[in-house]
């Protein structure tokens, strides 16, 4: 058989043009298909939004069975060394803790498996804390609210490697206050705090005239209330993640107070002082009581208020503290709640915990209550940094995960402040969701919130302040001690996911006329010389 060429007709048939009629483009049919697809998409989006909307609000009011006695962290033991310093020991360790009744979770704690003891010291005392790291990661311990040298601050520049011990030492030189301590390793703070590394640090001032007339017996009528939200998996492990649709961070569905789930407190005195600390990673609380009774707000971050503020609510964003005194009647029960907090942001607020409410702690009054003196009318001197012609010295724009358009850089000094100066800082939240703003080293005075005088609960010394969407707060700060051109303090958003993502900056305090020095990025192990702009 010889190969013969295919007949011409076959060749031609391979050309579609001469085969079956061409498929006609039918615009209407395509439009219809597109429309159906679009419709499906829209229905899907609506379903997702409805689902997110309805599943996102958490409400535990009336649903908490207060079956466990509130754990009160022990007061840390201390010794006085040869130099007259009060020395504490804190060991960061890992372990398992029964947070949810009947199950255990992997946790971290100081001198225990979850949270840490309460440190307590007096104004004028010199203290030292021996911090040993027995967890498997480098950590730090920062003294939130404390006025102290930058190299003792426990920020990201003072890492403690596994197995190491670090012993910061300083003199307590500020009014009586409820401070706290927690890790601050750059990029890992949320994880370390969530795992359980945190504790309270109470400062006393023997010269404070109000001190003796306020409830002050630790664990009896003066109670630490460390509030944290958690999310638990079925096997009892803490779930890091929670829901964070709104972008402000992890929000849990369960509340722990001092690590206790469903806690109650036996009250034995007419008045009880609660030292409220929002030690959550992202959640904002608006504390009040189940019967809406009024209470006295006597102190905030940096110490006692000028005078007690009588109110039914106190709002705390992460890192903030408030001391309240509540009056009880014999035999009654009342529940400390968190009501839906006004975080701003309209409908978006719902995705950032703005619709959530919780039963937090039940107070059970004994049939006979020991008498307590009334709360004094005046408590402490008011902050006095307010100057008539204060112009703005520095501006901080909060947006996304950046401050002034920059993410945290361990080797960059953002601001240089001169020793002895009093400055006005203006903080503007440019986002559609809330942030807050925390400054190390000093307590500040809130001058205004969106141009208006601050509400009375913001009239005392503060170190952390909520900034609602679109608003501006003005702060006055005085830098009186501890110049160190080479060791920065931090300022940052205390929503820990934001902080870790870079919403933080660094400032140094320098001698008048001096320039910022050299900062090392310990994490990367290299040194960069940065000339921060002297102000």
**Interaction of residue 530 with ligand C2O, rule CB under 6 A:** no
- Which parts of 395-454 interact with ligand C2O (CB under 6 A)? 438, 440
The nearer residue to Cu ion, 86 or 435, going by C-beta atoms, is 435
Residues 402-441 binding Cu ion (CB under 5 A) are 435, 440
Task: Please say which residue, 383 or 469, places its beta carbon nearer to Cu ion.
Answer: 469
Question: Residue 142 interacts with ligand C2O (CB under 6 A)?
Answer: yes
Sheet holding 222-230, edge to edge: 260-261, 254-257, 222-230, 271-278, 321-327, 295-300, 303-311
Residues touching Cu ion, count (CB under 5 A)? 6
Choose from Cu ion, ligand C2O, none: what does 493 bind? Cβ within 5-8 Å by kind: Cu ion
Q: Is the dihedral of CA 504, 183, 198, 118 positive or negative?
A: negative
CA gap 321, 56 in Å, rounded: 26
Task: Identify which of residues 379 and 427 has a Cβ nearer to Cu ion in the complex.
Answer: 427
Query: In the bound complex, what is the minimum distance in angstroms from residue 279's beta carbon to Cu ion?
Result: 12
Name which of 273 and 440 has its Cβ closer to ligand C2O.
440
Q: How far is the CB of 494 from ligand C2O (least distance, A)?
A: 6
Which among 213-221, 281-289, 443-451, 489-497 is the span making contact with ligand C2O, rule CB under 6 A?
489-497
Interacting residue with ligand C2O among 85, 144, 313, 498 (CB under 6 A): 144
CA 486 vs. chain centroid, Å, equals 27
- C-alpha radius of gyration, the chain, whole number: 28
Q: Should residue 186 be labelled a site residue for ligand C2O when binding is judged by CB under 6 A? A: no
Q: Which stretch binds ligand C2O (CB under 6 A): 116-124, 412-420, 446-454, 490-498?
A: 490-498
Output 179 or 336, the one with its CB closest to ligand C2O: 179
Shortest Cβ 257–Cu ion spacing (Å): 22
Among 490, 497, 519, 530, binds ligand C2O (CB under 6 A): 490
In this complex, which beta carbon is closest to ligand C2O, that of residue 147 or of residue 440? 440
Query: What are the φ/ψ torsions at residue 189 (nearest 5 degrees)?
Result: -60, -45
Q: Which does 435 bind (CB under 5 to 8 A by kind): ligand C2O, Cu ion, none?
A: Cu ion
**What sign does the dihedral 149-150-151-155 (CA atoms) show?**
positive
Instruction: Name the minimum Å distance from CB 409 to Cu ion.
Output: 18
**Tokens at 484, concatenated:** 């160190």
User: Does 492 engage in binding with ligand C2O (CB under 6 A)?
Assistant: yes
Residues in the chain: 535
Task: Tell me how far, at minimum, the Cβ of 439 lies from ligand C2O, in Å.
Answer: 9
Residue 522 has a CB neighbour count (10 Å cut-off) of 19
> Measured from the CB of residue 425, what is the shortest distance to ligand C2O in angstroms?
16
Q: In this structure, which long-range contacts are made by residues 499-503, counting pairs with CB atoms below 8 Å and at least 24 apart in sequence? A: 499/189, 499/190, 500/186, 500/187, 500/188, 500/189, 500/190, 501/401, 501/407, 502/401, 502/402, 502/407, 502/408, 503/398, 503/400, 503/401, 503/402, 503/403, 503/407, 503/408, 503/435
Using CB atoms within 10 Å of the CB of residue 180, give its burial: 0 to 12 exposed, 13 to 18 middle, 19+ buried: buried
Which does residue 492 touch among ligand C2O, Cu ion, none (CB within 5 to 8 A, set by kind)?
A: ligand C2O
Phi, psi of 472 (to 5 degrees): -125, 130
* Cα–Cα distance measured from residue 188 to residue 501, given in angstroms and rounded to the nearest whole number: 9
- The reply on whether position 144 binds Cu ion by CB under 5 A is yes
Closest CA to 99 of 212, 254, 226: 254
- Does 257 sit near ligand C2O (CB under 6 A)? no
Between 435 and 440, name the residue whose CB sits nearer to ligand C2O: 440
Site map 469..508 versus Cu ion, x via CB under 5 A: ------------------------x-x--x----------
Q: What is the DSSP letter of 428?
A: E
Among 178, 164, 168, 181, which residue's Cα sits nearest to residue 115? 181
Tokens of 318: 């992460």
Distance between CA atoms of residues 185 and 197, nearest Å: 12
What is the binding site for ligand C2O (CB under 6 A)?
Answer: 142, 144, 182, 184, 319, 438, 440, 490, 492, 494
């Amino acid at each position: 058989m010889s190969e013969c060429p295919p007949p011409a007709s076959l060749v031609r048939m391979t050309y579609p043009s001469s085969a079956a009629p061409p498929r006609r483009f039918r615009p209407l049919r395509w439009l219809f298909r597109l429309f159906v697809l679009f419709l499906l998409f829209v229905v899907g989006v609506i379903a997702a939004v409805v689902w997110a909307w309805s599943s996102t609000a958490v409400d535990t009011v009336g649903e908490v069975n207060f079956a466990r006695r509130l754990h009160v962290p022990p007061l840390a033991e201390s010794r006085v060394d040869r130099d007259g310093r009060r020395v504490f020991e804190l060991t960061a360790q890992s372990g398992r803790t029964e947070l949810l009744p009947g199950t255990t979770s992997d946790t971290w704690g100081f001198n225990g498996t979850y949270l840490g003891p309460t440190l307590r010291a007096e104004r004028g005392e010199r203290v030292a804390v021996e911090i040993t790291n027995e967890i498997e990661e480098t950590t730090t311990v920062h003294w939130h609210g404390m006025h102290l040298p930058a190299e003792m601050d426990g920020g990201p520049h003072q890492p403690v490697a596994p197995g190491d011990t670090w012993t910061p030492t300083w003199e307590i030189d500020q009014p009586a206050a409820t401070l706290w301590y927690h890790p601050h390793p750059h990029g890992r703070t949320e994880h370390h705090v969530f795992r359980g590394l945190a504790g309270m640090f109470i400062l006393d001032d023997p010269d404070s005239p109000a001190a003796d007339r306020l409830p002050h017996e630790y664990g009896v009528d003066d109670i630490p209330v460390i509030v944290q939200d958690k999310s638990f998996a079925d096997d009892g492990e803490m779930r890091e993640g929670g829901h964070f649709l709104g972008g402000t961070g992890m929000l849990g569905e369960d509340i722990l107070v001092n690590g206790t789930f469903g806690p109650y407190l036996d009250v034995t005195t007419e008045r009880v002082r609660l030292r409220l600390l929002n030690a959550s990673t992202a959640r904002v609380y608006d504390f009040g009581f189940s019967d809406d009774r009024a209470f006295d707000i006597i102190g905030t971050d940096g110490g006692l208020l000028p005078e007690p503020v009588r109110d039914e609510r106190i709002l705390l964003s992460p890192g903030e503290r408030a001391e309240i005194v509540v009056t009880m009647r014999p035999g009654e029960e009342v529940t400390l709640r968190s009501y839906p907090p006004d975080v701003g942001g309209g409908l978006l607020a719902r995705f950032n915990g703005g619709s959530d409410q919780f039963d937090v702690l039940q107070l059970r009054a004994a049939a006979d209550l020991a008498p307590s003196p009334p709360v004094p009318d005046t408590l402490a001197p008011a902050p006095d940094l307010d100057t008539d012609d204060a112009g703005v010295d520095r501006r901080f724009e909060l947006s996304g995960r950046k401050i002034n358009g920059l993410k945290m850089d361990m080797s960059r000094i953002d601001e240089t402040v001169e020793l002895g100066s009093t400055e006005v800082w203006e903080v503007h939240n440019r986002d559609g969701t809330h942030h807050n703003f925390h400054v190390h080293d000093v307590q500040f005075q809130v001058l205004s919130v969106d141009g208006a005088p601050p509400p009375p609960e913001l009239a005392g010394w503060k170190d952390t302040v909520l900034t609602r969407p679109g608003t501006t707060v003005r702060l006055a700060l005085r830098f009186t001690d501890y110049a160190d051109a080479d060791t920065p303090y931090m300022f940052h958003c205390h929503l820990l996911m934001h902080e870790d993502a870079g919403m933080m900056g660094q400032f140094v305090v320098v001698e008048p006329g001096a320039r910022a020095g050299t900062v090392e990025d310990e994490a990367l192990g290299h040194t960069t010389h940065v000339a921060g702009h002297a102000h």
